[in-house]
Amino acid sequence: MVTRNDVARLAGTSPAVVSYVMNNGPKPVSAATKSRVLAAVEELGYRPNAVARSLRARRTWTIGVIASDSAGGKSPFFGEFTRSCEDVAWERGYSVLLGNSAEQPVRAEGYVRSFLERQVDGLVLMRVRPSAQQVKELEGRVPVVTIDHEAPPFFSRLAVDDEEGGYLAAKHLAGHGHTRLAFVGGPLDIMAVELRLAGWRKGLAEAGLDSSLVAHAEISLEGGYSAAAELLAERPTALFATTDHQAIGAMRAAADLGLRVPADLAIVGFDGARESAFTVPGLTTIRQPIDEMARFAAETLIAAIEQGETEPVTRIFPAELVRRGSCGCQDPRTP
């Protein structure tokens, strides 16, 4: 087996310098020396022993990410967030273990337990809430970043301003002159849905409009379709959905009923997912900065891993209205 000492002899340097090159630190190495070391690594086929490295450093350079829908089949938010989080981890030399809880608490707890057994250095929880017992197990063991509005005091957390997002949607549709508006929401046990509904009702109340047209369904294309089909029997002229996928499902429900978007029904979604720019017409949406949020989560977690004990961080990201054709605004020619 080729060792670090073999690489050092061929490169004409010390084993410590080889370590600095392979680990990107902690001490800087000149470009010329780094080039010699990498050439020796390539010639000898050297591969560091990851197990030995982990034992020495008491770190595995792995992060566990647990999402309620990691594939993005129900909401594109999770897939896009996971990808951006993984990009940051890769840039910093960490591997990512991914678990999909499928919105099942028992499965989520199983992933937490499994990742801890595999000695991950930290956890990112995407709208996944561990049990009270698991929270006790996590405290002082690994740093945790959660994407949620509520969390134990030692978790770092981030979220988008969901209530402001619902408010922006209501004010925008009311500004188009709509007086009969409907809300398609996900399950009410999700705090983000509660907050988006609260903001929606606040915006309509300020406009002197009724907010009683509400239907809840699962967060998916199918859920948006079924909830919208139910509400469209009441003939609203505008609709706000709590995710882009639900909004796209609502667009299909409107089409199946012979309704034109936006002439007969204006629609606004929530997420700012990539697909929203490619619907016809383009989907007006409340954008959450998914890439920025994911990078913040990964960088916050890695800082806690590498710096040891740090104070937990909380950050609420602003929501932004993105105007496209589905609400009656001018539709951009290109996404």
What domains are defined for the chain? 4-48 (1.10.260.40), 62-161+290-317 (3.40.50.2300), 162-288+321-327 (3.40.50.2300)
pLDDT for 53 equals 53
pLDDT for 54 equals 47
Higher pLDDT, 131 or 173: 173
Give how far Cα 25 sits from Cα of 28, 92, 93, 286, 330, Å.
6, 12, 12, 42, 52
pLDDT for 74 equals 63
Is the pTM higher than 0.85? The answer reads no
Q: Report whether pLDDT(206) > 70.
A: yes
Q: In one letter, which amino acid is 154?
A: F
Higher pLDDT, 148 or 64: 64
pLDDT for 58 equals 59
Q: Are 61 and 121 in contact (CB under 8 A)?
A: yes
Q: Report whether pLDDT(166) > 60.
A: yes
Higher pLDDT, 292 or 93: 292
The DSSP symbol for 332 reads P
Q: Report whether pLDDT(227) > 60.
A: yes
pLDDT for 272 equals 92
Question: Whole-angstrom Cα distance, residue 228 to residue 255?
Answer: 11
pLDDT tens profile 235-245: 999 999 999 99
pLDDT for 73 equals 54
Question: Whole-angstrom Cα distance, residue 36 to residue 75?
Answer: 48
Q: Report whether pLDDT(49) > 70.
A: no
Q: For the beta carbon of residue 23, count every other beta carbon within 10 angstroms.
A: 14
Q: Are 287 and 277 in contact (CB under 8 A)?
A: no
Q: What is the mean pLDDT of residues 22-35?
A: 82
Q: What is the mean pLDDT of residues 35-56?
A: 73
Q: Is the dihedral of CA 87, 270, 217, 221 positive or negative?
A: negative
pLDDT tens profile 98-149: 998 887 888 888 999 999 988 899 999 988 888 888 888 888 889 999 998 8
pLDDT for 55 equals 41
Mean pLDDT of the chain: 89
Higher pLDDT, 51 or 82: 82
Confidence of residue 44 (pLDDT cuts 50, 70, 90): confident
Q: In one letter, which amino acid is 104?
A: Q
